[in-house]
């Protein structure tokens, strides 16, 4: 994946977090590695985020990936999408 491609994926992820993560701060100002739960994402909001990511990238997270550590940051979500071979181009 090119540098450009990664940036695009991160931007798309951030946009989806922005719409569904219900963070008290603007996710677009956070680092890739910033802890979204510490930033105020609730468990309930994280489920909505997962659903939105599944729809946007046309993937299904297997049960083994449905855990806190996978959705902890933009970087960890991006890695998970990469592992699933998401249509990230």
Partner 1 sequence: MSVTVEADVTFLADIRRIADEIAAPNADSVDREARFPIESVDALREMRAFSALIPRELGGGGVPFEVVAAACFELGRRCGASAMVFAMHQIQIACIVRHLDDAPWFENYLRDVAREQRLVASVTSEVGTGGDIGRSVAAVTPGADGLSTFEKQAPTVSYGAYADDLFTTLRRGPDAEPGDQVVVLTRREQLTLEQTGTWDPMGMRGTCSPGYIVRATFPAEQVLPTPFPRVATESMVPISHLLWSHLWLGIATDAFDRARAFVRASAKQRPDQPQPAAMRLSHLMSELSLLRAEVSSALRDFTDASGDAGREQLSTMATILRFNNLKIAASEQAPRVCQGAMSVCGIVGFKNDTPFSVGRHLRDTMSASLMVANERIHQTNASLLLIAKEV
Instruction: Indicate which single residue of 30, 39, 56, 84 sits in contact with partner 1 (rule: CB under 8 A).
Output: 39
When asked if residue 87 is in the footprint of partner 1 (CB under 8 A), the reply is: no
| Cβ neighbours, 10 Å, residue 34 | 15
Q: In 25-68, which ranges are continuous DSSP H helix? A: 43-57
When asked if residue 29 is in the footprint of partner 1 (CB under 8 A), the reply is: no
Distance, in Å, from the CA atom of 4 to the CA atom of 60, rounded to the nearest integer, reads 24
Instruction: Indicate which single residue of 42, 79, 82, 87 sits in contact with partner 1 (rule: CB under 8 A).
Output: 42
When asked if residue 26 is in the footprint of partner 1 (CB under 8 A), the reply is: no
């Amino acid at each position: 994946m090119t540098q450009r491609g990664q940036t695009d994926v991160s931007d798309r992820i951030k946009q989806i977090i922005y719409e569904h993560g219900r963070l008290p701060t603007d996710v677009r100002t956070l680092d890739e590695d910033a802890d979204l739960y510490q930033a105020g994402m609730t468990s309930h909001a994280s489920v909505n985020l997962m659903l939105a990511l599944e729809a946007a990238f046309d993937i299904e997270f297997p049960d083994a990936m449905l855990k806190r550590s996978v959705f902890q940051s933009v970087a960890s979500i991006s890695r998970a999408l990469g592992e699933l071979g998401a249509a990230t181009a």
